[in-house]
Chains A and B, each alone.
Chain A
Amino acid sequence: MQTNKGKGERKMQEKKYSIKTDFSMLAILIIPISVAVNFVGGQLASILKLPMYLDTIGTIFAGMLCGPWVGAVAGGLTNVVTGIANPVNFAFIPVNILAGLVTGFLARKKMFNVWWKWIISMILMAVVAVVSSAPIVVLVYGGVTGSGTSLITAAAMAAGANIWAAFFGTEGIFQLLDRVISFIICRLVIQVIPPRTLVKFGCGMNYIKEKDKK
């Protein structure tokens, strides 16, 4: 169902967006920044001992500003680079690609403009994150990856819960919180980028109109 929707969207938007113009020089430079922000966000979250990863802020930022394809590249590249140090991360490349794609399509649909759309978008993003990582965590890693939340998953499994149920339950809440914080950060940054700069980004226009309205 979701893929059908995606195709429909693309067809509708074909006149306005193309992959080639999506990857403008500016977008190309945003990709390294996004990956680095993913890194820094994750580091900062662990320094501040926050119970979330917060390591997809850059991917979400790239998707919100430059659209789905740039977001997807930023997401995928993040796990390629972390995989160099710890190859276990390679398995999660599709999860991050999907995070960038979904955010980008939501941005094109102007789903980040009004507060009630924010809520829908964040829930959708969290659902996609959990649903896309579930098969990888369960099938490749048998439910646990050694991270903080996976210990809770393990505990739930020990208490007799089904492996899938254990995963969805613990991961869902944390992912939603994660997306909420990530989104707020990105929105704050976009809020202060001057409109003159904003227009140069693929989806930048979507945030300017709202500013002018205010």
Chain B
Amino acid sequence: MENYIEKIQIRKSNKLAGLYPSTKALIVLMYAVCTFIVNTIEVTDIGLPLFLIPQFLVILILCKASGVLGRCIKALNTVAVVALIILLVQTFLVPGGDLIWRFGILRIYERGLRTAVSLSFLIMNIAGIFVWLFQTTENKEISRALEDSGMNYKAAYVFTSTLQMIEILGRNSKTIMNAQKARGVETEGNLIVRAKAFFPSLVPLILGAVISSEERVLTLEARGFTMQGPKTHLFELKKSGWEGKAAAASVLITVLLLAGRIMLWLL
């Protein structure tokens, strides 16, 4: 007999990647707190929060240790683009404070540089820790964890179903778009022509989905969706065994950092 239940489970050999989702959430929270603390430590003559830059190494190390560095870097690229644009725009376009540097029409002012460094690396760090969370956690684990944490089963359904629906409607929209092209709907040309193509592609898609959701309600009712009483789950969340250590470490580091920051103020 095939062991179907075993095949559904997610097994991770990496102890960090395999941490329980709620532990990972705690780490994310602590890391965000740390980031804001580090942001207040200003160095150099003009008070740049430069420590945010080496702090980002922690993300890379964490991703590497969790065995997902490649995937994380891919996801971080989109974040990096945003951060870079912010860095450039803020550096060169925001006036205020002393003029630090000038070359032709390019000028850098003190205030612009400070917000540039602070904003872009805050974003890199905070987005980075979320990237780690989502690259080491599968959607199935997230929705199961949501349900375990006391969230209504209907809410958990909405979350899981949303991820599937995005895939299905994405697929359907391609089918409809191709059909419309075959029927002679122009998808290239001037703006008006292209805007017109938007409607026949989208309206049938939404309509079809809404109409079929009626029958899906009946399907769910027939499968006991609204049945009272506890539900069982074929998919079980596993602990990796490092939960205690990881939680303690993240809290400890945050507390120490906070203490250090307060000491600096007092001195």
Using a CB–CB distance below 8 Å, which chain A residues touch chain B?
23, 25-26, 28-33, 35-37, 39-41, 43-45, 47-51, 54, 57-58, 61, 73, 77, 81, 83-88, 90, 140-146, 150, 154, 157-158, 163, 181, 184-186, 188-189, 192-193, 197, 200
Contacts of A47 in B (CB 8 A): 177, 187
Q: Is B169 part of the binding interface, using a Cβ–Cβ cutoff of 8 Å?
A: yes
Contacts of A192 in B (CB 8 A): 203, 207
Known: A31-B162, A33-B213, A77-B159. A185 touches B131 (CB 8 A): no
For the residues of B in contact with A, the DSSP-based class is: helix
Judge whether B194 and A36 touch: CB under 8 Å.
Answer: no
Judge whether A36 and B210 touch: CB under 8 Å.
Answer: no
Q: Is B126 part of the binding interface, using a Cβ–Cβ cutoff of 8 Å?
A: yes
A30, B168: Cα distance in complex, Å: 14
Q: Is B94 part of the binding interface, using a Cβ–Cβ cutoff of 8 Å?
A: yes
Chain A nearest CB, measured from B137 CB (Å): 9
Most chain B CB neighbours (cut-off 10 Å) among A36, A158, A184: A36
**For the complex of A and B, 5 pairs with smallest distance between CB atoms:** A87-B130, A87-B127, A36-B169, A32-B165, A32-B162
A66, B154: Cα distance in complex, Å: 16
Given contacts A142-B90, A144-B85, 10 further A-B contacts (CB under 8 A): A37-B169, A40-B202, A48-B195, A48-B198, A50-B195, A57-B206, A86-B78, A87-B131, A154-B85, A163-B94
Give B174-200 interface residues, CB cut-off 8 Å to A.
Answer: 177, 187, 191, 194-195, 197-199
Judge whether A25 and B207 touch: CB under 8 Å.
Answer: no
Judge whether B93 and A158 touch: CB under 8 Å.
Answer: yes
Contacts of A88 in B (CB 8 A): 78-79, 82, 123, 127
Known: A36-B165, A48-B194. A188 touches B134 (CB 8 A): no
Judge whether B187 and A185 touch: CB under 8 Å.
Answer: no
Interface string of B133-170 (1 = CB under 8 A from A): 01000010000000000000010011101111110111
Contacts of A30 in B (CB 8 A): 210, 213
Q: Is B258 part of the binding interface, using a Cβ–Cβ cutoff of 8 Å?
A: no
Q: For B139, give the chain A residue with the smallest CB separation.
A: A84
Judge whether A83 and B198 touch: CB under 8 Å.
Answer: no
Contacts of B166 in A (CB 8 A): 35-36, 39, 81
Contacts of B173 in A (CB 8 A): 40, 43-44
Known: A32-B161, A33-B210. A87 touches B79 (CB 8 A): yes
Q: Is B201 part of the binding interface, using a Cβ–Cβ cutoff of 8 Å?
A: yes
A167, B205: Cα distance in complex, Å: 33
Contacts of B226 in A (CB 8 A): 25
Chain B nearest CB, measured from A201 CB (Å): 9
Q: For B122, give the chain A residue with the smallest CB separation.
A: A140
Q: Is B37 part of the binding interface, using a Cβ–Cβ cutoff of 8 Å?
A: no
Q: Is B75 part of the binding interface, using a Cβ–Cβ cutoff of 8 Å?
A: yes
Show 26 A/B contacts (Cβ-Cβ < 8 Å), sorted by A: A32-B158, A33-B165, A33-B169, A33-B210, A35-B165, A36-B165, A36-B169, A37-B205, A39-B169, A39-B170, A44-B177, A44-B198, A44-B201, A45-B198, A47-B177, A48-B198, A57-B202, A73-B158, A77-B158, A81-B166, A86-B75, A87-B134, A143-B89, A189-B203, A189-B206, A197-B214
Contacts of B168 in A (CB 8 A): 36
Judge whether A26 and B213 touch: CB under 8 Å.
Answer: yes
Chain B nearest CB, measured from A139 CB (Å): 9
Judge whether A185 and B210 touch: CB under 8 Å.
Answer: no
Q: For B202, give the chain A residue with the smallest CB separation.
A: A185
A9, B131: Cα distance in complex, Å: 41
Q: Contacting A154 at CB < 8 Å: which of B75, B93, B130?
A: B93
Judge whether B210 and A189 touch: CB under 8 Å.
Answer: yes
Give B105-145 interface residues, CB cut-off 8 Å to A.
Answer: 115-116, 119, 123, 126-127, 130-131, 134, 139
Judge whether A86 and B79 touch: CB under 8 Å.
Answer: yes
A50, B177: Cα distance in complex, Å: 16
Q: For B134, give the chain A residue with the smallest CB separation.
A: A84
Contacts of A61 in B (CB 8 A): 206
Q: Is B62 part of the binding interface, using a Cβ–Cβ cutoff of 8 Å?
A: no
Interface stretch, picked from B13-21, B46-54, B216-224, B227-235, is: B216-224
Q: Is B267 part of the binding interface, using a Cβ–Cβ cutoff of 8 Å?
A: no
Q: Contacting B221 at CB < 8 Å: which of A25, A40, A85?
A: A25
Contacts of B170 in A (CB 8 A): 36, 39-40, 43
A58, B166: Cα distance in complex, Å: 12
Contacts of A39 in B (CB 8 A): 166, 169-170
